[in-house]
Amino acid sequence: MLERFYPDLMAPSAYEVNFREYFEKGYRGVIFDIDNTLVPHGAPADKRSIELIEGLKEMGFGVVLLSNNKEPRVKMFNDEVHASYIFKAGKPAKKGYQKAMEMMGTDTKTTLFVGDQLFTDVWGARNTGIFSILVSPIDKKEEIQIVLKRYLEKIVLVFYRRRCLDAENSAQSSL
């Protein structure tokens, strides 16, 4: 039951994901959450988010920002990074993820999603069939409704990590 919330991969940061490796595997699109994934909540694009997105585009990736925020917030960030974006996306609903893939000309087999929340970002990506990468939130200061969800996320992640450890132990014992 909890598996629907499990990411395909966990990474400490969006800036530590080896996107070149995914490009070599045939991925061609990256959908990003913004707040607490690329920058602290409400912050403008910074040098490293601009460089990351420029680098991905130079590599050949399409990039779409997918946010549940209103357009002024998303546009303000996007004015610096020059990607495509979808605001008020309604995550975890599939519609925003599907629209993002349509904008990039990708499909579920060639698209990655990177976000910091299990119950919106990861669940929506997995429900759509997209490879999901959960990153640690950049800033620990968050809105109260997100703080409450983080407690539930911790419970899910305990079971996720246990499953990963069991799989790793099983693989080692079969060697």
Residue 26 lies in a domain: yes
Instruction: Tell me the per-residue pLDDT of 36-88, one tens digit each, with 9 for 90 and over.
Output: 999 999 999 999 999 999 999 999 999 999 999 999 999 999 999 999 999 99
Residue 166 lies in a domain: no
Residue 172 domain-assigned? Answer: no
How far apart, in Å, are the Cα atoms of 165 and each of 10, 11, 156, 172?
13, 16, 14, 11
| Dist CA 109 CA 111 (whole Å) | 6
Q: What's the CATH code of the domain at 28?
A: 3.40.50.1000
The answer as to whether 171 is a domain residue is no
More reliable by pLDDT, 74 or 139: 74
Per-residue pLDDT at 134 exceeds 60: yes
Helix, strand or coil for residue 70? coil
Please state the domain count of the chain.
1
How close are the terminal C-alpha atoms of the chain, in Å? Answer: 30
Confidence of residue 1 (pLDDT cuts 50, 70, 90): low
Which secondary-structure segment (H or E) carries 146? helix 144-173
- Judge whether 145 lies within some domain: no
Domain span including residue 109:
2-140
Is there a contact between 130 and 100 (Cβ–Cβ < 8 Å)?
Answer: no
Burial class (CB in 10 A: 0-12, 13-18, 19+), 121: buried
Residue 133: inside a domain: yes
In a domain, 156, yes or no: no
Res 99: pLDDT: 98
Which pLDDT band, with edges at 50, 70 and 90, does 154 fall under?
confident
What is the reported pTM?
0.85
Q: What is the DSSP letter of 166?
A: H
Tell me, yes or no, whether 8 lies in a domain: yes
Closest-CA residue to 115 (of 53, 45, 36, 19): 36
